[in-house]
Structure 1
């Protein structure tokens, strides 16, 4: 299964590394920008995901995730910005190495980012 929709509304997402074009090693010591099949540049953002909890509850340890963005998120997503993912998806992967070991996990992707406004403090 690919592109499994995921609901992340129960998490606070904070930018750790601002969005930038996704690159990979070209095999000659250089970098090449990653594009989709139509030639559209892919972007990547690192987010810290922490579970939202109720008053008086203690949140478990959070996790840093890297998310591939299928569109240019634009400006305004600096470090420490609170964001939401637009149409988030996950994909499972497995990489088998020549020595017989397997590495598996999930990767995150989304159509884009949108800012989250901080809730107003009641007086």
Structure 2
């Protein structure tokens, strides 16, 4: 059973951009050159690095944060810069495992300035 594209709620975290969104690149197996990464339908992917820090709980405790890389399935557009707080549109998480280890990969439909994700997203 593959645990893939599980919807995730990140409302209890503040997400700050640590590396602005860029086109996701991958190494072409045949040529060895870096080429744009696409999904199975050929849609260009983007990637953004975010620092996810828990919001303080009712007692004021605020845990440590962690940097995560999120693959975006659409061009987020201009205006997303380092230090900006954002929300993810339709975020999901997938578990991965191979001979080198295991972990979680994050994906989202896009980015929105913090507090501007619509209910329709």
* Normalised TM-score (structure 2): 0.85
Which residue in the other structure is 1:80 paired with? 83
CA separation in 1, counterparts of 2:83 and 2:28?
Answer: 31
Query: Which protein has the larger Cα radius of gyration, Structure 1 or Structure 2?
Result: 1
Which residue in the other structure is 1:92 paired with? 95
Note the residue ranges of structure 2 that are not aligned, 5 or more in a row: 116-121
The alignment of Structure 1 onto Structure 2 pairs a total of residues equal to: 112
Stretch deviating more after TM superposition (13-22 or 30-39): 30-39
Note the residue ranges of structure 1 that are not aligned, 5 or more in a row: 97-101, 118-123
Report 1:1-123 matches (<5 A): 1-27=3-29, 28-54=31-57, 57-96=60-99, 102-116=100-114
Deviations 1:25-76 (A, max 9, x none): 2245521110112211000000000000147624121100000000100011
RMSD: 1.6
* Normalised TM-score (structure 1): 0.84
